[in-house]
Amino acid sequence: MKRVFIHTFGCQMNVNDTMRMSEALSSMAYSPTPTADNADLIILNTCSIREKAEDKMLSALGRYRQVKLQRGALIGVGGCVAQQEKNRILERVPYVDFVFGPDAIQKLPEIIQRVEADRVRVVETAWVDSESYVFPTANPNTSRGKATEFITVMKGCDNVCSFCVVPHTRGREVSRPFTEVLKEAASLTTVGVREVTLVGQNVNSYLGGISFAQLLLRTAQVPGIERVRFTTSHPHDLSDELIEAFRIEPKIMSHFHLPVQAGSNDVLKRMRRDYTVVEYLERLAKLRVARPDIAVTTDIIVGFPGESDEDFEKTFQLTEQVRYAGQFSFVYSPRPKTGAAMREAEWGSVPHDVKIARLERLNALQKRISIELNAAFVGQTVEVLVEGSSKTDASRRFGRTGQNTTVNFDGDAPIGALAKVQIGHASASALGGKQVSVESMPAIMVPEAEVAPEVCVA
């Protein structure tokens, strides 16, 4: 048995791709190892959404060079950076054996055989036409012992947001046929999964034979599925039908990640986001009528080219007004081939220290709001789907509420159980409490020792 270590950078799509890589490699008798030091094969599944993610990949490659020298491990680079920067990777890192794009995951065994047999460097970054693209089917055994799992429902993006590399690295949108999605959800329940998150770059423009709202409703009806989530969405695809699905189906969890990116219409226009702040707020208001307890999270880019102090104040005020449960905010970094990178000189770069000062102010505001929102749960009893031991204290349990808030608690509820937890304290990022009851366990229980090791995500 040979060992493979896969270092995953970036988003949930990449985490899912890593699982599919691992499954493809099991046909070559590779088993996953949680550390690179004893690996025979090292794969970096990369992200190019921000410059920092790319820098992290290069520094990780530097660390793995030693393993190559000592053990002769093969090293491959996959994912979005591989798709976009194959030549630069091969030039800068002579010990990389192969480079492959997101559409070549199923070809991994073939790629590795070619590297081993011919001792050549292999590049496989061709797009697969949307009509011919076949989504990898998950092996449910990879998910054994987990309460919650991700299902890829589409890939790529047809939008042209001026800051984003996704259309260049993942190509045009392709939706997975809904029958495949439902089949995968059903197969996951056979190993104990009770919650699924439908993932894609822009899930609510899904076109796999039924609408995205219908897909959520149908997934919620799969026997054994108790909770349904999804990520990520574009505000202009937040349809009335999707809002209605939140009103009628309680198994769709009360959390919506709705990236706004900026609170200024001028900035949104340069970002090519296709909505105004007022339109965004109108959609959100409708959603909150349909599901009053919904937690809304967002993405914000700070220091986009041309962002003035006044523009930033509008983003700041929007955060205060919406009272997001959380946000992923980052300073803008230009990405290759994007519209914003090409027009940055024309629109005007924001100095780095100004970007950082704005980001710190925004983060401080968000932290205050998150603390206030979470503090409102103290004294309440919430329902949590148990995912395992707490990451901060292994003697405690860990799960998430319907609003996707992390809860660490004292108790003994097994993985996959829905437990009632009385909340005793709150921070900006989590709630803490004690178990008051746990449902009788209908799911397939797996001893925690058998739970697969976690994917290493940068």
The rounded distance, in Å, linking the Cα atoms of 104 and 106 is 6
Query: Considering only residues 189, 201, 231, 435, which one is a binding residue for ligand SF4 as defined by CB under 6 A?
Result: 201
Q: How many CB atoms lie within 10 A of CB 398?
A: 20
CB proximity list for 362: less than 8 A, separation 6 or greater: 300, 302, 315, 316, 319, 327, 329
- Draw the binding track, 223-262, toward ligand SF4 (x: CB under 6 A; -: no contact): -----------x----------------------------
Q: Which of residues 10-29 bind ligand SF4 (CB under 6 A)?
A: none
How many amino acids of this chain bind ligand SF4 (CB under 6 A)? 9
Minimum Å distance from CB 162 to ligand SF4?
A: 9
Query: Considering only residues 22, 152, 175, 202, which one is a binding residue for ligand SF4 as defined by CB under 6 A?
Result: 202
Query: Considering only residues 60, 74, 164, 373, which one is a binding residue for ligand SF4 as defined by CB under 6 A?
Result: 164
Minimum Å distance from CB 242 to ligand SF4?
A: 16
| Strands of 251-339, DSSP E | 255-257, 295-302, 326-331
* Residue 301 binding ligand SF4, by CB under 6 A: no
Closer to ligand SF4 by Cβ: residue 232 or 366: 232
The rounded distance, in Å, linking the Cα atoms of 181 and 214 is 12
Closer to ligand SF4 by Cβ: residue 6 or 301: 301
* Residue 50 binding ligand SF4, by CB under 6 A: no
Q: How many CB atoms lie within 10 A of CB 289?
A: 12
Minimum Å distance from CB 150 to ligand SF4?
A: 17
Closer to ligand SF4 by Cβ: residue 50 or 234: 234
> Tokens standing for 113?
């055989």
* Residue 75 binding ligand SF4, by CB under 6 A: no
Pinpoint the alpha helices (H) of 48-153: 51-71, 79-92, 108-118
Closer to ligand SF4 by Cβ: residue 50 or 400: 50
Cα 179 versus chain centre, distance:
23
Minimum Å distance from CB 71 to ligand SF4?
A: 38
Q: How many CB atoms lie within 10 A of CB 446?
A: 17
Q: How many CB atoms lie within 10 A of CB 10?
A: 22
| Adjacent-strand bridge partners of 406 | 400, 430
Cβ-in-10-Å burial (0-12, 13-18, 19+) of 401 comes to buried
Q: Which of residues 121-160 bind ligand SF4 (CB under 6 A)?
A: 157, 159
Minimum Å distance from CB 198 to ligand SF4?
A: 16
Minimum Å distance from CB 457 to ligand SF4?
A: 19
Residues found near ligand SF4 in the complex (CB under 6 A): 157, 159, 161, 164, 166-167, 201-202, 234
